[in-house]
Amino acid sequence: MSKVLFVCLGNICRSPLAEGILKSKLSRSGLNNIEVDSCGTGQYHIGEQPDSRTIANAQENGITLDHRARQFVYEDFERFDHIIAMDRSNLQNIKRLDSDNNFADKLHLMRDFDPVENGGDVPDPYFGGERGFQEVFDILDRSIDHFLMKIR
């Protein structure tokens, strides 16, 4: 059993969408040995459903989201095998909690797996328009495909 955690800031836009995309790919390919969750480094939206624009975008792409926002906790370092941050700022937020550098091997950036544009940030769509959500979806979709190829 491999365990994957996606991390963004609010846990209502990017990371719950990444969770939904990966879960959908796993169920379509009959893989049930990978556990997936998401969380945020911020606490603004704890307990909330994903942003309504995220839910709508996921729906347009055939994915139903089922997640309530939660904040990253230290135990996540131990519980998960792959901790994937949506941008460098949130990666820094988590790294700061790993002050002894015990978990560096588990920490990644989502776009380290992006075959089109490698290593940057998944843009935060929260303050942008509708187009931002499909752009985020496309980045996540192809990056998660490549992530899956690497871990399988």
Q: Which stretch binds ligand 4NP (CB under 6 A): 11-19, 24-32, 95-103, 112-120?
A: 11-19
Given 5, 6, 10, 58, the residue binding ligand 4NP (CB under 6 A): 10
Is residue 140 a contact residue for ligand 4NP (CB under 6 A)?
no
Q: And the tokens for 99?
A: 């002050």
Is residue 55 a contact residue for ligand 4NP (CB under 6 A)?
no
The CB-of-70 to ligand 4NP minimum distance in angstroms stands at 12
Residue recorded with tokens 């991390």: 7
Q: Which is catalytic among the residues 13, 14, 87, 114?
A: 14
Q: Which stretch binds ligand 4NP (CB under 6 A): 4-12, 96-104, 113-121, 142-150?
A: 4-12
Is residue 48 a contact residue for ligand 4NP (CB under 6 A)?
no
Which strands form 2-8's sheet, in the order they lie side by side? 34-40, 2-8, 82-85, 107-109
Count of residues that bind ligand 4NP according to CB under 6 A: 11
Given 9, 21, 22, 94, the residue binding ligand 4NP (CB under 6 A): 9
What is d(CA 147, CA 111) in angstroms, rounded to the nearest whole number? 10
Q: And the tokens for 122?
A: 């998944």
| Burial degree of 23 (CB within 10 A; 0-12, 13-18, 19+) | buried
The CB-of-7 to ligand 4NP minimum distance in angstroms stands at 9
Q: And the tokens for 19?
A: 């969770």
At residue 72, the 3 state secondary structure works out as coil
Active site residue 124: yes
**CA triplet 71, 77, 78: central angle to 5 degrees?**
125
Active site residues: 8, 14, 124
In the complex, which residues of this chain contact ligand 4NP (CB under 6 A)? 8-14, 40, 44, 124, 126
